[in-house]
Amino acid sequence: MEDQTTNVVVATRTALDQAAALAVHYGFSILGAVILLVGGWILAGVISRAAYRVISRIRGIDETLASFFQNVLHYGLLILVFITVLGQFGVQTASIIATLGAAGLAVGLALQGTLQNIAAGIMLLVLRPFRVGEYIETSNVKGYIREIGLFATEMKTSDGLYLMAPNSTLWNTPIINHSREPDRRQELSVAISNEIDIDVARKTILEAIKSDQRVKSKPAPVVYLDDLTADQTVVKIQYWTVTSSWTESRHDIIANLRSRLAEADIPLK
């Protein structure tokens, strides 16, 4: 009976010693993991914010793109910290990395169209074929740019409608930017009777064009004969103006031409 009691006491002490050793071992592991997790979280935030400041200072980099890179770097560092913490407890991190890679591949295949829009959004933000406020035209859409996102671009049509275009549709098609260049050429056509002295008509038209202050002197406006029929001559007018006045100058010059030609007794066909 006494031997059994002794054996129980020895076994209990051994178990307690082992439990204490395990507690100390895993206690330090848990403490180290907590320190690593907290420190990694703070460090990931510091590094990602510093990267954002550096990227945002690069000329031509949009704020949306800088924020995207910041978030990618931040969460990538957090994943690295989490894997390192698991390694503190003896977890095989190689299998975790392989699992994350397989999961990422599966998600990428499932969201292929979405990822195409993200890639196109990044390219649009880097190369900047258009900016907010500019008017663009493609084979599918046209309108004023309101916001350039990573997935889609928000636009407003000339008649005030809201339009959202997936970035992939804008990236994979030629884009005409009506607002990018500071100057733009305008063209008008005037049909006059063949009975009118063409030199007088051209002089009258040229004076009307030059009288508008929005018309640039360099390149100089051009008036030339573009077509001829049995009863009329078509006069083509070309002039350059600032892009912001391209439409308004056309309307005003047409009204001015009508008045000037009427005063010179030059009827329109």
Is the domain of 37 the same as that of 54?
A: yes
Across the chain, where does the E strand assignment appear? 135-137, 142-148, 152-156, 162-166, 176-177, 183-193, 222-228, 232-242
Give me the number of domains the chain comprises.
3
166: CATH: 2.30.30.60
Lowest mean pLDDT segment, chosen from 14-18, 128-132, 256-260: 14-18
Find out whether 112 and 151 touch, Cβ atoms under 8 Å. Answer: no
Rounded to the nearest 5 degrees, what angle is found at the Cα of 36, between the Cα atoms of 102 and 56? 70
Is the domain of 165 the same as that of 190?
A: no
Q: What is the pLDDT of residues 190-241, one digit of tens each?
A: 999 888 888 899 999 999 999 999 999 999 999 999 888 888 999 999 999 9
Reported as type and span, the H/E element at residue 121 is helix 112-127
Greater model confidence, 143 or 32: 143
Q: What percent helix, strand, coil does the chain show, rounded to 5?
A: 55, 20, 25
150: containing domain: 129-177
Is the domain of 215 the same as that of 255?
A: yes
pTM of this prediction exceeds 0.75: no
Q: What is the pLDDT of residues 83-125, one digit of tens each?
A: 777 766 665 656 666 666 666 666 555 555 577 888 888 888 8
From 83, 110, 137, give the residue that closes a domain.
110
Is the domain of 19 the same as that of 84?
A: yes
Mapping DSSP to helix (H, G, I), strand (E, B) and coil, where does residue 65 land?
helix
Mapping DSSP to helix (H, G, I), strand (E, B) and coil, where does residue 247 land?
helix
Residue corresponding to tokens 């005063």: 263
Using CB atoms within 10 Å of the CB of residue 143, give its burial: 0 to 12 exposed, 13 to 18 middle, 19+ buried: buried
Is the domain of 166 the same as that of 73?
A: no
pLDDT mean over 18-31: 56
Mapping DSSP to helix (H, G, I), strand (E, B) and coil, where does residue 235 land?
strand
188 contacts: CB under 8 Å, gap ≥ 6: 236, 237, 250, 253, 254, 257
Is the domain of 212 the same as that of 160?
A: no
